[in-house]
Amino acid sequence: MGVGGAVHRAKTPSNGKIGRASAPYLLILPSILFAFWIIGYPIYDMANMSVHAVNRFGKTAAFNDFANYQRLFSHQLFIGCLIRTLVWTVFVVGGTVLLSVPIALILNEKFFGRTLARIIIMLPWAVSLTMTGIVWRWSLNGQFGMVNATLANFGLQDTPVEWLATSTTAFPILIAIGILVSIPFTVTVILGGLSSLQADVFEAAKIDGASGWQRFRYLTLPLIRPFLNIVLVLNFIYVFNSFPLIWVMTQGDPANSTDILVTWLYKLAFRYGELGIASALSIVMFLILLALTIVYAALAMRNERSTA
């Protein structure tokens, strides 16, 4: 084939040029089409379902004038779930990044037992979210849980506290555990960024008399910014759509006060059989994430250009 191509090129140089320029694209075209189909078809199907009447068994009927969207937006639980989703996402992602940067900085220093420390930080990653959720659910059980037992042993508690019984304790706890499970991935990415930094720049800054904080603020932070951007966008998407922790620990209880959009979506689709509203909600969530990601990517790129 290589020989044939060479002969062909030799004979018609002008055609060969075009052929050579487009060849890579032609070669990856099937994969691109396939990827578009894999990603695009479910979105198309979901969008299609969201504007039709659907029964609980997924059989679509007539176009229904966006009635699914109307019912979704006028549903008494929608706004509450949306606000909680944003609170949940902002706090989990914010907390994760705020904690991960110092952890990554420490793990980037050379000290005795660093490898062990890195492994310990990464280990929770190997445990599935569902397992983490079950373990915490057990630990936080008011009557039989380890947390209350420990507190009682230290004399810090007279009567057992049901941690997951009200949203005032349950939701902050969920956020804290959300942060805990997001740290390994975030630290890994930031650590990768830190290890790519050139030591001589920091040495030069040190000689010029820059303090530790100044070196962090004006050198480290701008240099690892691309990594922070990636971490923010990916975590935002993961956490926004994060289902297992909340589902396992509270199922949105009590009285929907720990429900976020994705747990409510699951109830709508698989418990209530409201596939119409559920597909409309899926599309709304998809658009929210898409919009936020595009805005953030645009901002990050503009920043990069202006600093460059």
Q: Which residues bind other proteins (CB under 8 A)?
A: 55-59, 76, 141-144, 159-166, 251, 253-256, 267, 270-274
β-pair type (60-63, 52-54): antiparallel
Spacing of C-alpha 303 from chain mean position: 22
166 or 293, CB closer to other proteins? 166
Residue 169 contacts residue 163 (beta carbons within 8 Å): yes
259 or 284, CB closer to other proteins? 259
Residue 275 contacts residue 49 (beta carbons within 8 Å): yes
* Residue listed under structure tokens 């956020």: 175
166 or 241, CB closer to other proteins? 166
How far apart (Å, rounded) are the C-alpha atoms in residues 101 and 130? Answer: 26
Residue 165 CB, shortest distance to other proteins, in Å, is 3
Residue 90 CB, shortest distance to other proteins, in Å, is 24
Q: Name the residue type at position 291.
A: A
Residue 281 CB, shortest distance to other proteins, in Å, is 15
89 or 263, CB closer to other proteins? 263
Residue 266 contacts residue 247 (beta carbons within 8 Å): yes
> Tokens standing for 33?
């089409």
Residue 167 CB, shortest distance to other proteins, in Å, is 9
DSSP three-state, residue 250: coil
* Residue listed under structure tokens 């509270």: 250
Residue 65 CB, shortest distance to other proteins, in Å, is 17
57 or 213, CB closer to other proteins? 57
